[in-house]
Amino acid sequence: MPSVTLHGVGRHFGALKAVDSVDLAVEHGEFLTLLGPSGCGKTTTLRMVAGLERNDTGTIVIGGRTVSDAAADLFVPPDRRKLGMVFQSYAIWPHMTVFDNVAYPLAVRRHPKAEIRTRVMAALRLVEMEAYAERPAPALSGGQQQRVAIARALVFEPEVLLLDEPLSNLDARLRAQMGEEFRALQRRLNITTLYVTHDQEEAMALSDRVVVMDKGRALQIGAPEAVYRRPASRTVAAFFGTPNFIEAEVTACRAEGDDYVLAIEGAGAQGDCRAGQAHRPGERVVVMIRAEDVALGRPNEPARAGQLAWTGRVVDGVFRGSRRSLAVEAQGRRLNVECPATRAATIGDTVTLTVDADNAWALRE
């Protein structure tokens, strides 16, 4: 049985649909991330699961219990949903010690003192903060506050853990470290986690599945790799990195495994690409090619069969440390290419660009 189920959940502000009929099922122990640009409705969705906002349409079920049903005017207040949550600001109560902060979910539910002590210390041990138990909360660094917030969210052993951009206030190095630590902890405890972020790399590194949201709608739900390599739409594709989009016409189509291989012609090139569904010859498609999947060859290097190939000129190059970003002009269009930083490319050089069929993904226009 899924741990959290959203069915037709929406939130409207007048004519504006902040969240528009979202369907979602989070499996037990799953790490699911809501990903999207700011204002896409991901935080509102999370807050509706938390009960901090009322959904105007649909039902929300947590752990087999309906906590919100707009049609039946049913709404369980947040304190009776048995959840744990980490806020973007951590929301560490400044007038309490670390211990009291973590003990709060148990204290307000009137658990016995001795039990509170053991469970709080256990939770603090999980995040390696047991030495700080008696510290006043304001005397903590950002990373430490983050750990305390996680301990507080876990201490009650909630059915679901909600996290609202918990890493966005940390610096880059700490962000990566805390993210990994948290992922390891989540796997160990096998706790269902609903995570909100606008950072695509964070989402891909942490999640079992990603929900890409835009303008209040869930555009695609799937494993990070699937969403990245096989996006359902141009919007989803454009959300990760700076892919190239090539308009092309289908000349042939055949099934291969679960997929289809299309022969296409467009932008001065001919070759194959993959697609999620069958296309008729003559149909127009947009082919997405990730910048790092474009292979850079010497001028006039011959292309293998099925490969898409262009000859072009390097017009811009940016050194980024581990890699190099190039802009190549070919057939009157600009292609983004990511290559190893060791690959020397001077502006003005003529190069050949080749793309394997497995790295070209067709989308409907």
Partner 1 sequence: MTVAVPLADREAAYPRGLERYGRPAGIALLILGLGFLTLYPMAMLLYGSLHSTPPGMAGTFNLDGYANLATAENLQALVNTVALSLVKSVLSLALAILLAWIVARTDTPARGVLEALITLPFFIPPILTATAWAMLGNAQVGTINLVWRWLTGSDGTLVDVFSYGGIVWHMMQYSTPFMFLFIVDAFRAMDPSLEESSRMSGASRWQTFWRITFGLMLPVTTSAFLLSFIRGMESFESAVFFGTPVGIKVLTTQIFDLITQRAQPDYQSATAMGFASLALMFVLLLVQSRLLRGRSYTTVTGKAYAPSVTRLGAMRWVTFAICVAFFALTVALPVGQLLLSSFFQFFGFYQLDMLTLEHYRNVWENRQFWGAFGNTLLLGFVGATATMVLGGIVAYITTRTTWRGRRLIDILAWLPWMMPGMVLGIGFLWGFAILPHAVPIYGTLWALLLAYIALGTPVAVRVTSGAYAQIAKDIEECSRVHGAGWWQTLGRILVALAWPAFAVGWVLIFFGIMRELSASILLYVPDTEVLSVVMLKMWNGGKPEDVSVIGLVMLAMVLVFRWVQLRFIKRRISTL
Residues in a beta bridge with 310: 353
Residues 73, 56 contacting (CB under 8 angstroms): no
Give the whole-angstrom CA distance, residue 184 versus residue 119.
Answer: 20
3-state helix, strand, coil in the chain (%, to 5): 25, 40, 35
Segment 81-110, which members bind partner 1 (CB under 8 A)? 81-85, 87-89, 91, 93-95, 104-105, 108-109
The residue within the footprint of partner 1, chosen from 76, 174, 223, 238 (CB under 8 A), is 76
Query: Hey, which residues between 239 and 268 contact partner 1 (CB under 8 A)?
Result: none
Looking at the Cβ atoms of 59 and 244, the one nearer to partner 1 is 59
Interface region with partner 1, contact rule CB under 8 A, candidates 49-57, 118-126, 222-230, 325-333: 49-57
SS3 264: strand
Pairing of strands 308-319, 65-69: unpaired
Residue 23 interacts with partner 1 (CB under 8 A)? Answer: yes
Please give the Cα distance from 62 to 67 (Å, whole number): 7
The answer to whether 309 touches 316, Cβ cutoff 8 Å, is no
Measured CA to CA, the distance from residue 207 to residue 73 in angstroms comes to 33
| Number of C-beta neighbours around residue 332 at 10 A | 8
- Residue placing its CB nearer to partner 1 in the complex, 12 or 333: 12
Binding segment toward partner 1, per CB under 8 A, in 78-86, 114-122, 167-175, 299-307: 78-86
| Residue whose CB is less far from partner 1, 64 or 281 | 64
Per CB under 8 A, which of residues 109..168 are in contact with partner 1? 109, 136, 138, 152-153, 156, 162
Both structure tokens of 180: 């990994």
How far is the C-alpha of 203 from the C-alpha of 213, rounded, in Å?
12
Query: In terms of CB distance, is 138 or 299 closer to partner 1?
Result: 138
Q: Which of 19, 34, 67, 212 binds partner 1 (CB under 8 A)?
A: 67
276 binds partner 1 (CB under 8 A): no
The helix or strand, by DSSP H or E, that contains position 234, with its residue range, turns out to be helix 234-239
Least distance to partner 1, CB of residue 140, Å: 14
Nearer to partner 1, 50 or 330 (CB): 50
Q: Mask of contacts with partner 1, 299-318, x by CB under 8 A?
A: --------------------
Does the protein bind partner 1 through residue 187 (CB under 8 A)? no
Q: Which is nearer to partner 1, 166 or 224 (CB)?
A: 166
Residue 198 Cβ vs partner 1, minimum distance, rounded to whole Å: 18
User: Which residue number, 94 or 299, has a Cβ lying nearer to partner 1?
Assistant: 94
One-letter-per-residue 3-state SS of 317-338: EEECCCEEEEEEEECCEEEEEE
What DSSP line would sit under 282-296, residue for residue? Answer: T-EEEEEE-GGGPEE
CB count, 10 Å around CB of 55?
A: 26
Residues that bind partner 1 (CB under 8 A): 5, 7, 23, 25, 50-52, 59, 61, 64-67, 72, 74-85, 87-89, 91, 93-95, 104-105, 108-109, 136, 138, 152-153, 156, 162
